[in-house]
Amino acid sequence: MYDVDLYQQLLQRLEVAWNGFRDKPEENPANTVKALWLSACGQPVSVQQAETCELPALDESCRRRLSQLIEARLSGTPLSYLSGRQRFMGIDFIAAPQAMIPRQETEILGRAALSTLQQMAQERGTVRVMDLCTGSGNLLLTLVHFVTSASGVGSDLSPDAIELAVKNAEHLSLSERAQFRSGDIFAPFESTEFYNQFDLVVCNPPYIGSKTVKTMAPEIIEFEPHLAFDGGPFGIQVLTRLIKNAPRFLKAGSWLCFEMGMGQGDGIARMLKKMPEYSVIQTFTDDEGKIRALAAKI
């Protein structure tokens, strides 16, 4: 039987200090306590999974560990880095400071890319995916998890992020269908082995302007890797390179899908429409009607 009084004490502490983030709506004081409790017992789970789990009794070692985790959370360390898990598109990924924490908002891109890939898989049989700025590998691994005829490659400028992506591929038993390389966007794939070979290119690039990055919440800028956010002076440095170069890697009739920041959608859509390489442009919006993902067909 777990210590109910201790649970209530910890819950009250978090409720008093709670300052939830819009980009992590799945977290609340109750499931945070549960996720940290289970982590202290060596059971890493996402907050969604924690809500369904029975809490175990704590020995003295686990109590000390739980106290340390609670203090770290109250000091601003992201929950997913403490619990070691983050759910994305229904899948629990390993989370660590090596890469940005997958956000629910990126599921807009994930669902658009998955629908596109599923349709192409029905038409073409086997399909190949390229995932740029892969981070923890969550996009590529989600796609090949749900589309069993898919395989793919991912790249990231950060070797640390690639190390985590490889761990996630092993964690999800997808290593045979998903490989990762370290390098700047398309650089690891600049060879005839990869030109015009992909049915889908996906990307969740850094798209925050450099000046804006400095004003982001401490929980983000003090703990998550800046490479994953800083998109240059206007936030579109990587986006413009992505749009320009993706057609070289896509098969005819294939798709580029990517995420962008608030307020960037209309401008990026106009840019795509002016490019002769792209024939069809689709937009995907959030609950407020803001464009957060785009798909472009060559």
Are residue 79 and residue 217 in the same domain, yes or no? Answer: no
Same domain (yes/no): 264, 128: yes
> Would you state the pLDDT for residue 6?
96
CA-atom Rg of the chain in angstroms: 20
Predicted local distance difference test score (pLDDT) of residue 23: 73
Determine contact, residues 156/165, Cβ cutoff 8 Å: yes
Domain of 267 in residue numbering reads as 104-297
Q: The domain that contains 220 carries what CATH number? A: 3.40.50.150
**The predicted structure's pLDDT at residue 116:** 98
- 237 with 161, same domain: the answer is yes
Predicted pLDDT of residue 232: 86
Do 145 and 276 lie in a common domain?
yes
Q: Are residues 72 and 115 in the same domain?
A: no
User: Is residue 49 located within the same domain as residue 128?
Assistant: no
Same domain, 249 and 160: yes
Domain end (from 50, 83, 116): 83
Give the pLDDT of the chain (298 residues) as one tens digit per residue. 789 999 999 999 999 988 776 778 999 999 999 999 999 999 999 999 999 999 999 999 999 999 999 999 999 999 999 999 999 999 999 999 999 999 999 999 999 999 999 999 999 999 999 999 999 999 999 999 999 999 999 999 999 999 999 999 999 999 999 999 999 999 999 999 999 999 999 999 998 888 888 888 888 889 999 888 888 887 889 999 999 999 999 999 999 999 999 899 999 999 999 999 999 999 999 999 999 999 999 9
CA 101 to chain centre: 6
Same domain, 120 and 71: no
Residue 58 belongs to a domain:
yes
Q: Has residue 88 been placed in a domain?
A: no
Residue 293 inside a domain? The answer is: yes
